């Protein structure tokens, strides 16, 4: 086993551990430590980190969790991630978590924040709203105050103090982590045969449960090791995968895309790890810096309003161009309002740029991969056989 493979093996063990043992052990290592969970797409983890809290990414139960209780809370036409998250909660797998943050992404996650309040009244639960107005003294002011409310709530509930100085240090730590995540993505786009999409996914996902410093080291080690690994370069086409920003596709789905002849050169998985596209300044007021980074440097995604019609979908076009992709795969969770409502507009933008695409739906527990493999394989073949390049 190479060093890169050993790192990924560790990441896979973290991924498969639905009891969050690593986070539990981190908490138990010192008295008074706190863990706060968060759901997709984005929360400012710097604020938690600055208070000595471990931010824990909770992105559903995947395909290995048997959902028994969770289905009793949701109708058949609602996506899977809230029901498996409820399952994690009621089965005690999150009983060590001191708080839960529910970011503004859609009505289902929004309402889950209220359900959490009703079901787990002793846990600090907060709906984390973000501005849809991106003007500094309108949406920016609102967001700074929201961040302050979050800070106050965490201080009160966890019995901690979050100082400006600690925040600046945490911003620097997360800047470093985001730089490494971007480096991993760039490495994959440059040499995708050395960075299978499933490996990159597991590596990045480890950052949801590990302390950020440890995750940064892990990525550094992997980058060094993966560069040395010799892997055969296949005659795959290069694709961007989009729509996978909330409910996670099963690992087998990610592998299936690659096995069917597509190198994934960009995606919108686990956006929290690279939501802010540039470093956040460490000088000055940290809350304002975090707010302005959100307003002006954050990723485009379906949960955000795009004020400029001409800009709609251009993030995908840019990703295709920058990463040398030949097509886009729209993989959307069933019943996902943001991904599915956005999809036609994004497809129109791609069509105008003559960028080919396909679309399919999945659930986090999808088991049958053959149709997806056939569809992605046909897409790859069609690109290779008939594309202008």
Partner 1 sequence: MTQETQAQGRSAAQDVAKDDSMLKQKAMMARHFDRLTSATERGEKVCSTFVPGNLNELIMCFDLCNNLPEVNAIQSGLRKKSGGYVMEAEKMGHSEDVCTYVKSDIGMMAKGNIAPNGKPFPKPDVLMLSYTGCFTFMKWFELLREQFGCETIMLHTPYEGDGKITDNMRSYMVKQLKEEVIPKLERVSGVKFDIDRLRENLKRSAQAEDDLVKVLQSGKNRRSPIDAYFGGIYYIGPIFGAFRGTDDAIDYYATLRKEVEARLAAGRGPVTPEGDMGEEKYRLVVEGPPNYTSFRHFWKMFYDEGAVVVASSYTKVGGVYDFGFRHDPQNPLETLADYCLGVYTNRSLPQRVDMLTDYVNEYQADGLLINSIKSCNSFSAGQLLMMREVEKRTGKPAAFVESDLVDPRYFSAANIKNRMESYFQMIDQKRPGRGFEGEAA
Q: Binding residues for partner 1, per CB under 8 A? A: 72-75, 77-78, 82, 102, 104, 106-108, 110-115, 117-119, 126-129, 131-133, 135, 137-139, 141-142, 145-146, 149, 302-303, 305-307, 309, 312, 332, 334-338, 340-345, 347-348, 361
> Least CB distance from residue 204 to partner 1, whole Å?
26
**Nearest residue (CB) to partner 1, 31 versus 121:** 121
> Least CB distance from residue 253 to partner 1, whole Å?
18
For 298, the 3-state DSSP assignment is: strand
**Nearest residue (CB) to partner 1, 74 versus 275:** 74
Q: Are 104 and 96 in contact (CB under 8 A)?
A: no
> Least CB distance from residue 278 to partner 1, whole Å?
24
C-alpha to C-alpha distance for 35 and 57, rounded to whole angstroms: 10
C-alpha to C-alpha distance for 207 and 178, rounded to whole angstroms: 11
**Nearest residue (CB) to partner 1, 48 versus 180:** 48
C-alpha to C-alpha distance for 46 and 287, rounded to whole angstroms: 10
**Nearest residue (CB) to partner 1, 96 versus 330:** 330
Q: How far is CA 41 from the centre of its chain?
A: 6
**Nearest residue (CB) to partner 1, 112 versus 226:** 112
> Least CB distance from residue 117 to partner 1, whole Å?
6
Q: Report in angstroms the alpha-carbon separations of 352 from 64, 282, 306, 344, 347.
A: 40, 40, 18, 12, 9
> Least CB distance from residue 93 to partner 1, whole Å?
19
Per-residue tokens: 187 = 């490495």
Please state, as a whole number, how many other Cβ atoms lie within 10 Å of the Cβ of residue 231. Answer: 14
> Least CB distance from residue 18 to partner 1, whole Å?
22
Please give the backbone phi and psi of residue 358, each rounded to the nearest 5 degrees, phi first.
Answer: -135, 170
C-alpha to C-alpha distance for 329 and 356, rounded to whole angstroms: 9
Residue in the block written with tokens 């991106």: 134
C-alpha to C-alpha distance for 322 and 266, rounded to whole angstroms: 10
**Nearest residue (CB) to partner 1, 224 versus 341:** 341
> Least CB distance from residue 286 to partner 1, whole Å?
18
- Where b means 16+ CB within 10 Å and e means fewer, 238-247 reads bbbbbbbbbb
**Nearest residue (CB) to partner 1, 225 versus 345:** 345
């Amino acid at each position: 086993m190479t060093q890169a493979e050993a790192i990924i093996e560790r990441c896979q063990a973290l991924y498969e551990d639905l009891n969050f043992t690593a986070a539990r052990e981190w908490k138990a290592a010192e008295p008074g430590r706190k863990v706060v969970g968060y759901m997709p797409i984005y929360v400012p983890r710097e604020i938690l980190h600055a208070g000595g809290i471990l931010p824990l990414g909770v992105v559903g139960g995947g395909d290995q969790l048997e959902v028994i209780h969770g289905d009793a809370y949701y109708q058949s036409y609602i996506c899977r991630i809230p029901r498996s998250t409820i399952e994690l909660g009621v089965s005690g797998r999150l009983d060590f978590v001191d708080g839960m943050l529910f970011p503004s992404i859609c009505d289902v996650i929004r309402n889950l924040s209220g359900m959490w309040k009703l079901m787990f009244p002793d846990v600090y639960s907060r709906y984390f709203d973000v501005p849809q107005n991106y003007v500094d003294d309108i949406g920016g002011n609102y967001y700074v105050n929201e961040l302050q409310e979050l800070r106050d709530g965490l201080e009160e509930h966890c019995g901690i103090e979050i100082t400006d100085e600690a925040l600046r240090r945490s911003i620097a730590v997360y800047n470093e982590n985001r730089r490494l995540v971007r480096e991993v993505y760039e490495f994959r786009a440059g040499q995708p045969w050395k960075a299978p999409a499933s490996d990159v996914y597991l590596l990045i996902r480890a950052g949801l449960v590990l302390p950020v410093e440890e995750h940064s080291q892990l990525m550094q080690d992997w980058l060094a090791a993966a560069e040395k690994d010799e892997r055969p370069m296949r005659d795959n086409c290069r694709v961007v995968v989009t729509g996978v920003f909330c409910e996670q596709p099963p690992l087998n789905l990610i592998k299936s895309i690659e096995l069917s002849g597509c190198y994934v050169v960009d995606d919108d998985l686990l956006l929290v790890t690279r939501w802010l596209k540039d470093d956040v300044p460490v000088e000055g007021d940290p809350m304002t810096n975090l707010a302005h980074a959100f307003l002006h440097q954050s990723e485009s995604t379906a949960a955000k309003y795009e004020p400029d019609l001409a800009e709609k979908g251009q993030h995908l076009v840019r990703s295709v161009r920058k990463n040398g992709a030949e097509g886009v795969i729209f993989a959307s969770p069933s019943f996902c309002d943001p991904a599915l409502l956005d999809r036609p507009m994004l497809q129109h933008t791609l069509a105008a740029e003559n960028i080919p695409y396909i679309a399919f739906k999945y659930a986090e527990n999808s088991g049958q991969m053959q149709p997806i493999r056939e569809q992605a394989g046909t897409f790859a073949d069609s690109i290779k056989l008939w594309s202008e390049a």
